[in-house]
């Protein structure tokens, strides 16, 4: 091998952390080996490998179509098998093979790994069961409080004893109940996602109907007098998504639009374009610092200017996951103290 090629090869092998060999496929001789390969093959002197016949460690001939070879080696005095994957390498006019190896797990190693996986699975199932049980137990008193609050408000209005003070306190309780319910939903949803219990069931969905339902069910008659402004352009068509997941996506984004703004009405625009539906959810609230936008869809991440506003940092992770699972796209534009716009797009059903 030419001197300059030897330098190139030495640098290449030294830079690899895995066991690596350089083989002449014509003479079937090992030309070079890095330190991990020397250690794995149980050789005391690296020079023993240079120029050694491949058959010393490999039971069989090396053909031009061979893609991998298994060599005998040692680890802590115990015989092991090393799987080397072969890649063609050409230096000047020389055709060589670069072999990069990894130890083949023994039956004992596999048993240990399987045992660890079984323990992790059991722990994950226990955690998911606990979260599910806790969520269910908390929903019962929350529902009871919400029902009692509605009855109390109705009774006070009927008896004409509702004052500004009582109205303010009832509004605060209602807001906190909604926030607590949202928190439970996010934790439960995230637990199901981690446990891979969420299945995407797509169908033709009327997005306008979904938005109308959400506005009337969750975002009407707000105590602060604000409302969700909805606008539709283009010819309405059904989109192909999981309806339940679309509910969660829009509920989260609309809730955030109200939560992170105190003045002005958040807006939702449905734009039916030629090949897809584009949905924009916009607010004029505190916005998000530009440098923090890349981290927005990371678990538990919260913008620096949202530290004093309630939230888990899970909502947008769930939104992004559900958008991706429905073959959609999501983008965000924001400027601190000027507001935020989330843009979604979904394909039409055929």
From 203, 194, 299, 278, select the one nearest 242 (Cα to Cα): 203
Mean pLDDT in residue range 152-174: 88
Question: Any bridge partners for residue 8, and if so which?
Answer: none
Is the Cβ–Cβ distance between 306 and 260 less than 8 Å? Answer: yes
Mean pLDDT in residue range 20-45: 82
Q: Is the domain of 206 the same as that of 350? A: yes
Mean pLDDT in residue range 80-96: 81
Is the Cβ–Cβ distance between 279 and 343 less than 8 Å? Answer: yes
Q: Is the domain of 94 the same as that of 71? A: yes
Is the Cβ–Cβ distance between 263 and 284 less than 8 Å? Answer: yes
Asked if pLDDT for residue 137 goes beyond 70, the answer is: yes
List of residues 6+ apart from 208 with CB closer than 8 A = 232, 236, 270
Question: Any bridge partners for residue 84, and if so which?
Answer: 69, 101
The Cα 251–Cα 219 span in angstroms is 9
The Cα 108–Cα 66 span in angstroms is 29
- Would you list the DSSP string of 76-136? TTEEEEEEEEEEEEEETTEEEEEEEEEEPPPHHHHHHHHHHHHHHHHHHHHHHHHHHHHHH
**pLDDT, tens only, 109-123:** 667 767 777 777 777
CATH number at residue 67: 3.30.450.20
Q: Which of 62, 79, 104 is the last residue of a domain?
A: 104
Q: Is the domain of 276 the same as that of 156? A: no
Tokens of 56: 């010393």
CATH number at residue 284: 3.30.565.10
Q: Is the domain of 51 the same as that of 135? A: no
Chain-centre distance of CA 152, in angstroms? 43
**pLDDT, tens only, 189-215:** 777 776 666 788 999 999 999 999 999
Structure-token match 């923090």, residue found: 292
Q: Which of 171, 198, 225 is the last residue of a domain?
A: 198
From 27, 41, 45, 22, select the one nearest 80 (Cα to Cα): 41
From 297, 308, 304, select the one nearest 336 (Cα to Cα): 304
Q: Is the domain of 41 the same as that of 86? A: yes
Asked if pLDDT for residue 309 goes beyond 90, the answer is: no
Q: Which range of residues forms the domain containing residue 74?
A: 3-104
Q: Is the domain of 147 the same as that of 234? A: no
Across 195-213, b (16+ Cβ under 10 Å) vs e yields beebeeeeeebebeebbee
Q: Is the domain of 225 the same as that of 350? A: yes
- Tell me how many degrees the CA angle 323-325-331 measures, rounded to the nearest 5: 25
- Would you list the DSSP string of 222-245? -TT----EEEEES----EEEEHHH
Q: Is the domain of 212 the same as that of 342? A: yes
- Using 50, 70 and 90 to split pLDDT, how confident is the model at 234? very high
Name the domain count of the chain.
Answer: 3
Q: Is the domain of 343 the same as that of 210? A: yes
Is the Cβ–Cβ distance between 88 and 95 less than 8 Å? Answer: yes
Q: Is the domain of 136 the same as that of 64? A: no
Q: Is the domain of 249 the same as that of 341? A: yes
Q: What is the mean pLDDT of the chain?
A: 83
Q: Which of 79, 104, 129 is the last residue of a domain?
A: 104
Q: Is the domain of 194 the same as that of 60? A: no
């Amino acid at each position: 091998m030419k001197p300059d090629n030897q330098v190139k090869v030495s640098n290449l092998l030294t830079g690899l952390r895995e066991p690596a060999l350089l083989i002449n496929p014509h003479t079937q001789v090992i030309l070079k080996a890095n330190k991990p390969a020397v250690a794995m093959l149980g050789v005391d002197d690296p020079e023993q490998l240079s120029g050694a016949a491949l058959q010393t460690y490999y039971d069989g001939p090396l053909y031009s179509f061979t893609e991998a070879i298994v060599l005998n080696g040692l680890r802590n005095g115990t015989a092991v098998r090393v799987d080397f994957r072969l890649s063609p390498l050409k230096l000047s006019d020389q055709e060589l093979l670069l072999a990069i190896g990894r130890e083949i797990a023994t039956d004992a190693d596999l048993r240990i790994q399987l045992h660890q996986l079984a323990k992790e699975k059991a722990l994950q199932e226990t955690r998911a069961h606990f979260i599910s049980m806790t969520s269910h137990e908390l929903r019962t008193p929350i529902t009871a409080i919400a029902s009692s609050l509605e009855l109390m408000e109705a009774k006070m209005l009927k008896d004409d004893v509702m004052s500004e003070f009582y109205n303010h306190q009832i509004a605060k309780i209602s807001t906190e109940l909604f926030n607590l319910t949202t928190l439970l939903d996010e934790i439960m949803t995230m637990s199901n996602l981690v446990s891979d219990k969420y299945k995407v069931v797509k169908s033709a969905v009327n997005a306008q109907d979904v938005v109308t339902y959400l506005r009337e069910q969750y975002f009407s008659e707000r105590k602060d007098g604000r409302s969700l402004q909805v606008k539709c352009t283009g010819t309405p068509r059904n989109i192909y998504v999981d309806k339940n997941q679309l509910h969660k996506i829009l509920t989260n984004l609309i809730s955030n639009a109200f939560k992170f703004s105190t003045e002005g009405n958040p807006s939702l625009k449905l734009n039916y374009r030629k090949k897809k539906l584009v949905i924009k959810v916009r607010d004029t609230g505190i916005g998000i610092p530009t440098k923090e936008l890349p981290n927005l869809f990371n678990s538990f991440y919260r913008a620096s200017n949202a530290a004093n506003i309630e939230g888990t940092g899970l909502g947008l992770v769930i939104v992004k996951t559900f958008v991706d699972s429905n073959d959609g796209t999501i983008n965000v534009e924001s400027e601190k103290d000027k507001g935020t716009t989330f843009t979604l797009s979904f394909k039409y059903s055929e």
